[in-house]
Structure 1
Amino acid sequence: MNITGHTIFIPGATSGIGLALALALHHEGNRIIVGGRRTELLERVAAEHPGIATVRLDTADPDSIDTASRIVLAEHPDLDVLITMAGIMRAEDWTDPAGFLSTAETTVTTNLLGPIRLIAAFVEHMLAQESATIMTVSSGLAFVPLRATPTYNATKAAIHLLSESLRLQLAGTGVEVLELVPPAVRTDLMPGQATSAAAMPLAEFVDEVMEILENRPEAAEIQVQQVGFLRHAEARGDYPQVVAALNGSDLPSL
């Protein structure tokens, strides 16, 4: 993916990784449209970063996705990059039958059905472009589970295989499929994560992602060095040790 000259829609980019990546891509000369649920955050992004467009979008609501996609395509017919950033991460206790199901269902709706519906809303348009990019966002926890977040882990594993499968189906078209695989990053995704010494500083993460995008155009998975501990555990043959190390830590890992 060339890192400049695109029109890019990033749902879920009013904070955290999404906003930081949106700003980095905007700095490189791309036209950015940020999507999010909270109007006050969208207004703040627009006020603080002139030139970035916004649209209200709730990725857990299919009607909202349909409305937002129509607005984005009507106002930005040259759209050629979709980054499905929106997601949630919540702890669950499956030993308490009354305590986990609603959280699990909400996580699936947001983290899995949300990206599926977003891609469905834009794929016809993307296929009509000379070249386009769909970037999904999985996690190091797609490959090694964190005990506290079973459904989050499962949704990110599903996003990984969805990305792999779409790449196969869209081969031969003008649409490339990239998968961003973050490690734990200092954001507010989970309580305590923004100040965790074990999490990667947000600016360092985004800088490394931009370097990969610019200098490794062949990369289908965008993996910063820090996520390799999780991503390649099975291939290295130390998967049980990595599971034990991850779950023996107090880190609310992404």
Structure 2
Amino acid sequence: MELSNNTILITGGTSGFGYEFASRLIALGNTVIITGRSVQKLQETKQKLPAVHIIQSDVSKPDDIIKLHEQVITQFPNLNILINNAGEMRKLILHENHTPDDITREIEINLMGPIRMVQQFLPHLKKQKSAAIMNVTSGIALMPFPISPVYGASKSGLRSYTKSLRVQLKHTNVKVFDLVAPGSSTPLNEKFMDSKDFNSSLVVTPEKIIEAAIKGLQKDKYEIYPGLAKVMHVMSRLAPGFLLSQAAKMGAEEMAGK
């Protein structure tokens, strides 16, 4: 896929992968729009990346997605690439008390958000000469991650949805990509880094992950596995029990209620 002279919408673009995507894609000669929940963070991002266009929007809110669609299609009618990047990851101890709304928050952001975004923008994307959707999933989509059970479920669901979406759009002009991201030094993972079981040597920088994503897009590589995600992909097939046993070590005392 040609990665210049496109108009690209990135959700969750104020930090981590979203910010790195925006920076790289602007440098390649694209028009880039980012969304985020915080107006302040959007404005700070605009100061660092003057060429970026910012829109306040929350992917967990269906009304926000409808309004975002109307604004983007009006202001940027050449939109042809959607990157569903916004996400949230939490430690959740399931035998503690959680309200019904709170326990499913990651489902709303990480799974329902991208599904609704695709459904809202797909008719427009199909009208473009060349278009693409990239969903950012996770290496955790390949295995359970007990300390973050709802996040893992949301990313597994998004990966399954992405595969089905690719099949259904096979005979259209819309290419569907899956960035299976390994653990990275982004705000998403900060809450896990103080764990005694956290291995910082396995963390990949956002720059390296997005570099792999850019190359994958350019080569029409529909499933992109940067760094450790390649190993996890193989191990999820050959030794899923071993992967789960290793993942279960993270936060084992917390999960046991100690």
TM-score normalised by the chain length of structure 1: 0.91
Cα deviation, residue 231, structure 1: 2.0
Structure 1 contact 144–231 (Cα < 8 Å) conserved: no
- CA separation in 1, counterparts of 2:128 and 2:236? 38
**Worse-matched range after superposition: 120-129 or 238-247:** 238-247
- The corresponding residue for 2:172 is 173
- The corresponding residue for 1:35 is 35
Structure 1 contact 73–79 (Cα < 8 Å) conserved: yes
- The corresponding residue for 1:230 is 232
Matched, 1:204 2:208: yes
SS at match of 2:187: coil
- CA separation in 2, counterparts of 1:193 and 1:34? 26
Matched, 1:85 2:85: yes
Structure 2 contact 13–22 (Cα < 8 Å) conserved: yes
Check 1:100–1:228 CA distance in 2 against 1; reply closer, same or farther (3 A cut). Answer: farther
Amino acid at match of 2:245: A
> What fraction of aligned residue pairs are identical, expressed as a percent?
28
- The corresponding residue for 1:70 is 70
- Within a 5 Å distance, the mapping from 1:88-167 to structure 2 comes to 88-96=88-96, 98-99=97-98, 101-167=100-166
SS at match of 2:215: helix
- The corresponding residue for 1:11 is 11
Cα deviation, residue 112, structure 1: 1.1
Matched, 1:246 2:247: yes
- The corresponding residue for 1:2 is 2
SS at match of 2:113: helix
- The corresponding residue for 1:182 is 181
- CA separation in 2, counterparts of 1:125 and 1:141? 31
> Any unmatched runs of 5+ in structure 1?
none
Amino acid at match of 2:231: F
- The corresponding residue for 1:221 is 223
Cα deviation, residue 193, structure 1: 5.1
Cα deviation, residue 113, structure 1: 1.0
Cα deviation, residue 208, structure 1: 2.4
CA offset digits 1:91-128 (Å, max 9, x no partner): 111122x2374432111111111111111110000111
- CA separation in 2, counterparts of 1:19 and 1:193? 21
- CA separation in 2, counterparts of 1:37 and 1:69? 16
TM-score normalised by the chain length of structure 2: 0.90
Amino acid at match of 1:241: F
- The corresponding residue for 2:24 is 24
SS at match of 1:166: helix
Q: CA RMSD in A?
A: 1.9
Aligned residues: 247
SS at match of 1:189: helix
Structure 2 contact 216–222 (Cα < 8 Å) conserved: no
Cα deviation, residue 69, structure 1: 1.2
> Any unmatched runs of 5+ in structure 2?
195-199, 252-258
Amino acid at match of 2:212: E
- CA separation in 1, counterparts of 2:26 and 2:166? 26
Structure 2 contact 139–229 (Cα < 8 Å) conserved: yes
SS at match of 2:190: coil
Cα deviation, residue 192, structure 1: 4.3
Check 1:91–1:53 CA distance in 2 against 1; reply closer, same or farther (3 A cut). Answer: same
Amino acid at match of 1:54: I
- CA separation in 1, counterparts of 2:11 and 2:127? 21
